[in-house]
Amino acid sequence: MDYIGRFAPTPSGSLHIGSLLTAVASFLDARAHGGQWLVRMEDLDPPREVAGAADEILHTLEAFALHWDGAVIYQSRRHHTYRAALEDLYAQGLIYACTCSRKRIQSHGTKGADGTVYDVHCRHQAFRQPENLGKTPAYRIIVPDQTIAFHDALVGDYAQNLARDIGDFVLLRADGLWAYQLAVVVDDAAQGITHIVRGQDLLISTPRQIYLQGCLNAPTPHYAHLPLLTNRHGQKWSKQTRAAPLDLNRKTSLLRQVLTYLHLPAPIPDGDCAELLQWATLHWDLHHLPRTAINTENTLGTDISS
């Protein structure tokens, strides 16, 4: 099978145990299929980025023997590609400029699956006359009143009605930042990604991405959304919940922990990271992964954040 997978970190800080789990699972699934594993830096949001974080992430992946194929792609260098995709969607009559204030959006919107569903107030505004709008607009895409369903290898069937659950969503923000939803679809297509293995926090975004793939004539990859790794309060490990950066002095034991979370405790006591990953590749089976959130406290008896 032709398999191209990827890991797409946002360089807003160091990798932590949760992002290591995503990296390892996407790596193992690719290698077990004899596929490629690409790395893409999702550095679209300069204010949220930390200087040196992208290089540090790559260094950490190498330290764990998570060797990627090909050159790393940086989203910060691909604005022209996102612009071209927006123009394509505009030519299809799917894009409009929105000048609503956050306050207006909140007060006129309804509650959706991922925040407020926008009330389509600005749908009548044309794309290319921002100078007539009085202020810099955001650009939204019109979504259909139709159910978008897909089968996730881990979660099972999942569906959303974009009009009801999400609403017309922003592809280019008024401050000039490209939305993750557009960039990820454009880049997954450009890199020929066939399989996406990522955290369940992104499941809610997948119907939007499948919709954009359809509009941009891009294939829909296979999806597997991994259970989240949570702390003792049941919160996802992230920068916000103060997940500790990975300690490279403990890399083999951290990798063993992650493999244990993935139901692959490695029975090779002296293995280094490369050997552990090699063993795990041979024993990898997506269908044996846990399906629900993995609490690091329950699994280990200790909270690895502190």
Residues in contact with ligand GLU by the rule CB under 6 A: 8-10, 42, 184, 198, 202
Alpha carbons 269 and 272: distance in angstroms, whole number: 9
Q: Does 94 bind Zn ion (CB under 5 A)?
A: no
Q: Which does 239 bind (CB under 5 to 8 A by kind): Zn ion, ligand GLU, none?
A: none
Q: How far is the CB of 134 from ligand GLU (least distance, A)?
A: 34
Q: What angle do CA 286, 288, 292 make, to 5 degrees?
A: 95
Q: How far is the CB of 23 from ligand GLU (least distance, A)?
A: 10
Out of 100, 170, 197, 215, the residue judged to bind Zn ion by CB under 5 A? 100
Q: Closest by alpha carbon to 8, among 61, 46, 52?
A: 61
Q: Does 266 bind Zn ion (CB under 5 A)?
A: no
Q: Does 122 bind Zn ion (CB under 5 A)?
A: yes
Out of 38, 53, 58, 98, the residue judged to bind Zn ion by CB under 5 A? 98
Alpha carbons 248 and 16: distance in angstroms, whole number: 11
Cβ nearer to ligand GLU, comparing 246 with 276: 246
Q: How far is the CB of 53 from ligand GLU (least distance, A)?
A: 11
Contact 47, 11 (CB under 8 A): no
Q: How far is the CB of 132 from Zn ion (least distance, A)?
A: 14
Q: How many CA atoms lie within 13 A of 250 on its CB side?
A: 12
Q: Which does 198 bind (CB under 5 to 8 A by kind): Zn ion, ligand GLU, none?
A: ligand GLU
Cβ nearer to ligand GLU, comparing 42 with 168: 42
Alpha carbons 188 and 248: distance in angstroms, whole number: 30
The piece of 77-85, 113-121, 174-182, 224-232 that touches Zn ion (CB under 5 A) is 113-121
3-state SS assignment for residue 111: strand
Q: Are strands 195-199 and 222-226 parallel, antiparallel or unpaired?
A: parallel
* Burial class of residue 167, CB neighbours in 10 A (0-12, 13-18, 19+): buried
Q: How far is the CB of 213 from ligand GLU (least distance, A)?
A: 13
Contact 218, 189 (CB under 8 A): yes
Contact residues for Zn ion, defined by CB under 5 A: 98, 100, 121-122
